[in-house]
Structure 1
Amino acid sequence: MSIVTRSKRIFSIVQKSNKNPRLYSSVSANGPNEPIISSSILGNQTTSSTPPPPPPPPEGAAAGKAGGQPWSFLKYTLIAALTGGVATAGYATYAYTLEEVDEKTKALRASAKVSVTDDMSSFDKFQAMLKSATMTVPAKLVELYLDLRATTEEHVRGFTEPSSEMLLPDLHPQEQHVFTLVLDLNETLLYSDWKRDRGWRTFKRPGVEAFLEHLAQFYEIVVYSDQQAMYVDPIVDRLDEKHCIRYRLSRAATRYQDGKHYRDLSKLNRDPRRVLYVSGNALESCLQPENCVPVKPWKCEADDTALLDLIPFLEYVARHRPADIRPVLASYQGRDIAKEFIERSKEHQKKMQEQKQQGRLWRR
C-alpha cells in the first residue's frame, strides 16, 4: 500500500472521530482533564462582573445606635453615683462612730420633711415641694446606712464583746469585803501539750491543789480562760475536785481585740480595787494591767514552786485588806512579787526589832 493511500485513511478516521462524541470521550478520559476544567473556570471568573454590595442594615439597627448614647450616659452616671456613695459610706464608717454620723446627718434628714401650708404662695409651695423631692432620696439613703450599720455593729459586738456586762453575780452582802482572785488556766495552773504518738495531754502545775485549797479560805476564786467552754469545764472538773473555784469564765466572756482574746476585768461586776489577776501571761492577756500579778509561765518544769511561793503575798493581802490593791501592785512593778515580798517582810521584821530594842533602852 502506498504512502498516499495510508494518509487518506488516517485523515478519514480523524474526521469520523470528531463527529462521534463517544469516541472523543473515550480518548479524553485516557488523558488528564483537570487543566481543561480549571482553565474554563478561570475564564468564567475573568469575564464575570464585580460582586454586588452588601445589603443595607435594618432600620432598627441605625435607630438603636443613635439612641444608645443617652442610655450609656445614664448608665455611667448611675455607676459613678453608686461608687461615690459606697466610698462616702466607707469613709464615714472608718472615721466616725454611729452616734457621730447620726448627729451630723440630722439636718440633711430634716430637710426632706418640708411642710406646705395654705398661706404660702404657689411659687413657695412649688419650691418647697421641689426641695423635699430633691432631698428625699439622700435622706432615705442615710437612714438606710444608719440602720445597716447599727445592725452590723450589733452582730459584730456579739463576737468581740464579752457575753454580758456583768459576768459574775452580785456578791453576798456578808462578803462585800472579800477580794476576788482571778486565775488564768493555761501555763498558770496547768499546761496542755500535744504529740503525735499520744495526742493531747494536760499536766497540773506542782502545788496547784494546795494553792487553791489554801486561798479559797480568803478569796473568791474565778478561773478566766480564753479557751472554749467545752475545753475549760472538763479540765476544771478534774483539777478542782474540792470545789475551791467558784466561777469559770471561758472565751465567750473575753473581749476580742487586735486578733487576740483579752480578759476584761471591768465586766466582772466586782470592785476593781479588790481584784487580782494571776497569770503566766498577765500583761499580754489582760486589759487592766494595774490589777495583774505576773508569775513565771509554766511549761512542765518539775521543780517549779511559783504558785506556792506566791501564797504568802496573797494571804497577806487578804488578811490586811488594803483599800486599793492597785497601788500595792504598782510598787512591785518589774519585780518578782514573791521574792520581793519576802525581802520586804524581812526588812520590816528588822525594823520592828530595832524599834523594840530602842523602846527598851528608853525605858531604862
Structure 2
Amino acid sequence: MICSVVPVAAIEVYMDVRSQIEDQIRGFSEPVSDKLLPDLAPQEQHVLTLVLDLNETLVYSDWKRERGWRTFKRPGVDAFLEHLGRFYEIVVYSDQLSMYVDPVVDRLDPKGNIRHRLSRVATKYENGKHYRDLSKLNRNPAQVLYISAHAKESSLQPENSVEIKPWKLENDDTQLLDLIPFLEYVAMARPSDIRAVLASYQSGDIAAEFIERSKEHQRSVDIFLCSITFLYLIDGNLNVDVPTPLL
C-alpha cells in the first residue's frame, strides 16, 4: 500500500482558493446588501412598504423584429401609483438588470411615486431563479406587502405576497385598479401584522373578496343602526352587539 502525505502548505493554499471561489459565488447569488433600503425616517415608522414587481405586473416588454423592444404600461398603473403613493412607501423590486429597470421606472413614474427601485443585484439567486428576499429590505416584515404576477415563484416570503394575473397587453385589464380599495383600507387601518390580514383571505382573489367583505360589513352596520334606533324608540335600551371591524 502506498501512502501519500499532502503538505500542510498545499492544503492551506487549497482552502484559500476555495474560500475565494465561494465568496465570488456568494457575491452573485446573495443580495448585494443585508439592508437594501435606507432607514425610514422616524416620522414614517408607521408607513407600510408596498413592494411591486415590474414585468407583467406594472409593464409588459415586447420584442418584434421590425422595431425591436418596446415596453407598455399596464392599464390603471398611473392612477395606482399616484393614489397609493400617498399611503405607502412604494418600491419596485425586479429580477432584471438595472440598465433595464432604471429607464423603465423613469418613464413609468415621472412624478416620483416610486421611492426606491431594486434590480437583479438585490435578488437571491438559487436553483436557477432570482428570488426577491423581503427580509433584506431593512423593514419590519409585518409592514411589507409584495405584489407580483409571479409572487408564488419569485418571493422567499409568500406570507407577505399577493399574486395578481399576469398582464400580456389585454386592454380590458383592471387588476391594479381593483386592488386600490383593499390597499387603501389596509394603509388606513394600520394592522399590527399585514401577514395575518393576507392569511385571512382564502379565495386567491383578494380584491374581489375584499369587496364582498365590505358589502357584508355594510349590511351588518345597517342592521346595527336599525337595531339601536328601534330599541331606543321602544324602551331606551341600546344593548346591541357592535359589528366586528372589516380587518
User: Aligned pair 1:216/2:85, yes or no?
Assistant: yes
Residue 350 (structure 1) shift: 0.8
Give the structure with higher Rg (CA).
1
Q: Structure 1 residue 333: deviation in Å?
A: 3.7
User: Who is 2:97 aligned against?
Assistant: 228
1:287 aligns with 2:156: yes
Residue 63 (structure 2) aligns with: 194
Look up the match of 2:22: 153
Q: Whole-Å Cα distance in 2 between the matches of residues 215 and 231 of structure 1?
A: 24
Structure 2 residue 32 is the aligned partner of structure 1 residue 163: yes
How big is each residue's C-alpha offset from its partner over 1:262-300, in whole Å with a ceiling of 9 and x where there is no partner? Answer: 100000000000000011111111110000011111000
Q: Is the 8 A contact 2:60 2:72 kept in 1?
A: yes
Mind listing any 5+ residue stretches in structure 1 that lack a counterpart?
1-72, 82-133
Query: Larger relative contact order (C-alpha < 8 A, sep ≥ 6)?
Result: 2
| Structure 2 partner of 1:26 | none
Distance 1:140 1:346 in 2: 75
The Cα RMSD (Å) is 1.7
Quick check: which one's helix share is greater?
1
| In 2: Cα distance, 1:140 partner to 1:245 partner | 54
> Counterpart of 1:299?
168
1:215, 1:200 → 2: CA distance? 29
In structure 1, the residue matched to 2:178 is 309
Q: CA deviation at 1:306?
A: 0.6
How much does 1:159 deviate?
0.5
- Partners of 2:29 and 2:126 within 8 A in 1: yes
Residues 92 and 118 in structure 2, CA contact (< 8 A), matched pair in contact too: yes
Query: Aligned runs of 1:208-287 on 2, under 5 Å?
Result: 208-287=77-156
How far does residue 150 in structure 1 lie from its aligned partner after superposition? 1.9
**Which structure shows the bigger proportion of residues in strand conformation?**
2
Tell me the distance in 1 between the aligned counterparts of 2:197 and 2:140.
16
CA 1:145–1:334 in 2, change beyond 3 Å: closer, same or farther?
A: farther
TM-score normalised by structure 1 residue count: 0.62
Instruction: Indicate conservation of the 8 Å contact 2:91/2:115, yes or no.
Output: yes
In the alignment, the residues of structure 1 paired with residue 16 and residue 61 of structure 2 have an alpha-carbon distance, to the nearest angstrom, of 45
Note the C-alpha offset of 1:212.
0.3
Tell me the residue number matched to 1:44.
none
Q: TM-score, normalised by structure 2?
A: 0.90
Q: Aligned residue for 1:355?
A: 224
| Structure 2: gaps (5+ residues) | 235-247
Q: How many angstroms apart in 2 are the aligned matches of 1:305 and 1:292?
A: 19
Instruction: Confirm or deny: 8 A CA contact 2:203 2:209 kept in the other structure.
Output: no
- After TM superposition, the structure 1 = structure 2 runs for residues 1-364 of structure 1, keeping only pairs within 5 Å, are 137=6, 139-363=8-232, 364=234
Single out whichever of 144-153 and 295-304 deviates more from structure 2: 144-153
Give the deviation of 1:151 after TM superposition: 1.6
Matched residues in 2 for 1:324 and 1:226: separation?
A: 27
SS in 2 for 1:202: strand
Q: Distance in 1 between matches of 2:9 and 2:193?
A: 52
Structure 1 runs of 4+ with >4 Å offset: 137-142
> Whole-Å Cα distance in 2 between the matches of residues 358 and 333 of structure 1?
31
Secondary structure at the aligned position of 1:293 is classed as: strand
Whole-Å separation in 2 of the counterparts to 1:285 and 1:138? 46
The answer to whether the 8 A contact 2:33-2:136 is kept is: yes
| Paired residue total | 233
SS in 2 for 1:332: coil
Structure 1 counterpart SS, 2:114:
coil
Q: CA deviation at 1:356?
A: 1.5
